[in-house]
Amino acid sequence: MKSEKGYALIHNKAINKSTAFTMNERKDLSLRGLLPYGVSDIKTQQHRVMTNLRRKEKDIEKYIYLTALEDRNERLFYRTVIDYFEEIMPLIYTPTVGQACNEFATIFSKPKGFYINPEDKGEIAKILDNWPESDVRVIVITDGQRILGLGDLGANGMGIAIGKLALYVSCAGIHPHQCLPVMFDVGTNNETLLESPLYLGYRHNRLERKQYIDLMKEFITAVQIKFPKALIQFEDFHATNAFALLNEYRNKVLCFNDDIQGTAAVVLAGIYASTRITRDKFTDLRIMFLGAGTASTGIGDLIVSALVKEGLSETQARRRLWFLNRKGLVVKSRNDLEAHNLPYAHDNKQLDLVNAIKSIKPHVLIGASGAPQTFTQEVIEAMSECNARPVIFALSNPTSKAECTANQAYMWSNGSAIFSSGSPFEPVDYGGRLFQPGQGNNAYIFPGLGLGALACEASTINDEMLRSSALTLAKLVSQESLNSGSLYPPLREIRKVSLEIACAVASTAYELGLAQNKKPENLKSHIASMMYEPTY
């Protein structure tokens, strides 16, 4: 315990135990008179927390309550998140975090994280010294331009970085003081925000490309000096910047883009798991995407890598993947495609989604479009006509942006669909059978991926490490989960999942010569010992 005593102690969230301080501790630490008489253990405190949490009617109110708890008593907050993960995760991350970001300036109460704006150019290394922790291991950085499916939220996007790091702590045991949320606040093109008197961000339109890239380069360079062991996670960037930054830094520093690579790994895991239900061979699958941005292309790239690993040529692998955007099928005759779309542009006539399904007959349909209700009844029925068990991923977040609901997928497919989504849906009773839709949430992958990379001090993260994450996650899906229609393990097992993925990632890094430390005799025990357990 640190040297703080008295009033300072109970206002230090990292070491405050509140009513759990014993009578002897209260005497020794000058706490007498500052706390009510009763002494509560952590279980009693959790009971109080959950009683108050469940009393609140709106999820955003629950989010604000939990945020305040974290500000008061860090250990109690994380112990409660871990022990009630299935109930609390949707409140601290998707879907509630979407509303929290929309209202970030309104509900703002206490600064969290680190903000960089264009006026900091030339001084980023200097101002990083203002951060109170020196042993930063995980940085989540966003520029707020593509927050979930909500678009440009500018500095309000800080809520995403804070939420992701809460999952690193609760899912993978990264210590809270080793986490740094960063808002790369380079302006916003959202006129509503710019005109709002409450908006807290840099009140200018977004930086042009060169200025943007130069400022990011300065930040990345400063991090290598200040926090040389830190993993950098890029989050919710516009496709153009997301791919540019990943391509620039993926082989130079320890980093990854969760929207491109984390989403890819969790979907690949779901596809692997789905073949245990459909009995289709992975290398025979035809996969169609609605949406051709960062998430879809990242998924496609990792699937191609996995198919090549299974023996297909890159050309054969790409031929199995088909993309549609708002203008229809991505084909070679189009002259409006972005660079990341070109490898997936096939020789084919232009088709809309329903006709593309009828013509190409995909086994798997993946939605990462940000466009709600685009998997219509006609779409689901078309998938059902060409598959006994159509595999449907409606990944867009938050829930309001999902391409279809779980109930719609089951109803329109007569109960044959294998459905997963990005945000949670309640179980569905259809035809006397209870379906438990799987949530293909990145939280299954990125915490364990980060933990594994840190455990072996990986120099970079590559496709093999992502593929090993996906394979491990797919193997952890029980037959019971598959029977209920879920392609993922229960979220209550998330720390076990993260540990297994961390071991797989670290093992792959050691095999590929990407680890910078010596492999421990018992890798799993070593990684488990690194995981933060919030207790008094």
Greatest extent of the chain over all pairs of C-alpha atoms, in Å: 79
pLDDT at 488: 98
The residue from 164, 212, 344, 401 that is catalytic is 164
The alpha helices in 343-422, defined as continuous H runs, are 353-360, 377-386, 406-412
pLDDT by residue, tens only, the chain of 536 residues? 457 999 999 999 999 999 999 999 999 999 999 999 999 999 999 999 999 999 999 999 999 999 999 999 999 999 999 999 999 999 999 899 999 999 999 999 999 999 999 999 999 999 999 999 999 999 999 999 999 889 999 999 999 999 999 999 999 999 999 999 999 999 999 999 999 999 999 999 999 899 999 999 999 999 999 999 999 999 999 989 999 999 999 999 999 999 999 999 999 999 999 999 999 999 999 999 999 988 899 999 999 999 999 999 999 999 999 999 989 999 999 999 988 899 999 999 999 999 999 999 999 999 999 899 999 999 999 999 999 999 999 999 888 999 999 999 999 999 999 999 998 899 999 999 999 999 999 999 999 999 999 999 999 999 999 999 999 999 999 999 999 999 999 999 999 999 999 999 999 999 999 999 999 999 999 999 999 999 99
Chosen CATH of 6-88 out of 3.30.830.10, 3.90.1640.10, 1.20.1370.30, 2.120.10.80 = 1.20.1370.30
- Domain residue spans of the chain: 6-88, 96-253, 261-443
**pLDDT at position 338, please?**
87
**Token pair for residue 172?**
């993978």
Out of 3.10.20.30, 3.30.470.20, 3.40.50.720, 3.40.50.1100, select the CATH number for domain 261-443. 3.40.50.720
- Set 63, 78, 93, 272: catalytic member: 93
Residue among 440, 40, 386 at smallest CA distance from 271: 440
- How confident is the model at residue 1, as a pLDDT? 44
Q: Which phi and psi angles does 318 have, rounded to 5°?
A: -65, -30
Taking residue 50's Cβ as centre, other Cβ atoms within 10 Å add up to: 15
> Strand pairing partners for 329?
324
Active site residue 164: yes
- The CATH code for residues 96-253 is 3.40.50.10380
Q: Do residues 193 and 156 make contact, with C-beta atoms less than 8 angstroms apart?
A: yes
Q: How far apart are CA 218 and CA 211, in angstroms?
A: 11
Instruction: Please check whether the two domains, 6-88 and 261-443, share a CATH topology.
Output: no
pLDDT at position 232: 98
Which DSSP string corresponds to 390-448? -EEEE--SSGGG-SS-HHHHHHHTTT--EEEESS----EEETTEEE--EE--GGGTHHH
Is 58 assigned a catalytic role?
Answer: no
